[in-house]
Amino acid sequence: MLVIAAPGQGAQTPGFLSEWLKIDSFADRFAWLSAAADLDLPHYGTQADADTIRDTAVAQPLLVASAIAIAHELFPHSEYGCGSAAMVAGHSVGEIAAAALSGAITPEAAMIFVRERGQGMAAASAVLPTGMSAVIAGKPDEVLAAIEAAGLTPANFNGSGQIVAAGTLEQLKALAENAPARARVIPLQVAGAFHTVHMAPASKRLELLARSISTSRPVTELVSNRDGQVVASGAEYLERMVAQVTHPVRWDLCMDTMATEGVTGLLELAPAGTLTGIAKRNLKGVELFNLNTPDQLNEAREFCARHSEAK
């Protein structure tokens, strides 16, 4: 059983689309998605530096457009881009790409939604200096207690050995100075306290926008960050994406669902490595594939075919 996964913010690296944009079909689709987002995404994916693509208003549309366009290169004859996958999932902003790849919303709607999400979250982040830090290792109860003691929110539950804390930079500093026993606190390359109350203004903005977005029933299983549940309604999934801006990402529960459903292979779309790294620790026995460059496409298709047959 195959799952296609789209990464979240922080996965982007300078120039990660340089080779992809040499493919005419990719370049054409990416230009269209770029137009829908009203951003020069080809520039950001090839020439912009790390600080520029760290900007929330840039990073989020860039990642969603990349996932959509790369999935269509992987499955060139698939109407939506999910191909032979039995399940599609995305981490945080990756959920928007997953929604488009499953047919729950159109790619154009996905790009408008993520543009507004990115701009809204960037504006919310500018109100007060905030950020996120990953807490690696340590006992879960002690980690959660330390996060609470610092006044922070556990924003991402990424499975065994990793919980991401979010809040003000002062609170994050306090956590780092009082790290839980046997744990490391690592600042993340994001520009705000995502999935917390700090993002409430962005959530309100998306609520208004979502009223005009048409949805359809997903053509493949679509897993929600809210609780790891498979959502069969495009309208419900859209509601969940709006609410997710201020709620924790339960990627641990998404992986639980994958395991329960019997996933045998997980392919992460570029820029890949984050979700497969987490899966390596949490989905024992599941084969993993990082699709980062076009020269991997044939191997990736063989991987997908093999795991699509293992149902």
Q: What pLDDT shows up at residue 17?
A: 98
> For residues 94 and 82, what is the distance between their CA atoms, to the nearest angstrom?
14
CATH code that applies to domain 130-187: 3.30.70.250
Number of H helices, E strands in the chain: 13, 10
Distance, CA of 78 to CA of 74 (rounded, Å): 9
* Residue 311 pLDDT: 45
Half-sphere exposure of 123 (CA within 13 A, CB side): 12
Active-site pick, 34, 66, 72, 92: 92
Choosing from 72, 125, 133, 195, which is the catalytic residue? Answer: 195
Q: What is the pLDDT along the chain (311 residues), one digit of tens a residue?
A: 999 999 999 899 999 999 999 999 999 999 999 999 999 999 999 999 999 999 999 999 999 999 999 999 999 999 999 999 999 999 999 999 999 999 999 999 999 999 999 999 999 999 999 999 999 999 999 999 999 999 999 999 999 889 999 999 999 999 999 999 999 999 987 889 999 999 999 999 999 999 999 999 999 999 999 999 999 999 999 999 999 999 999 999 999 999 999 999 999 999 999 999 999 999 999 999 999 999 999 999 999 999 997 54
pTM score, whole prediction = 0.95
Say which amino acid occupies 281.
Answer: R
Helix (H, G, I), strand (E, B) or coil at 224: coil
Annotated catalytic residue 102: no
Do 130-187 and 2-124+197-309 fall under one CATH topology? no
Closest of 192, 195, 242 to residue 215, by C-alpha: 242
User: Amino acid letter at 12?
Assistant: Q
Query: Is 92 among the residues known to form the active site?
Result: yes
What is the CB neighbour count within 10 angstroms for residue 302? 11
Distance CA 177, CA 305 (A): 48
Say what the pLDDT of residue 161 is: 86
Give residue limits of the domains in the chain: 2-124+197-309, 130-187
* Bond into 271 cis (ω within 30): yes
Q: Does domain 2-124+197-309 have CATH number 3.40.366.10?
A: yes
* Cα–Cα distance for residue pair 67/270, rounded to 1 Å: 7
Q: How far apart are CA 156 and CA 162, in angstroms?
A: 8
Burial letters 89-128, b for 16+ CB under 10 A, else e? bbbbbbbbbbbbbbbbbbbebbbbbbbbbbbbbbbbbeee
Q: Lay out the sheet containing 183-187: strands in order across.
A: 183-187, 130-137, 162-168, 153-157, 249-250
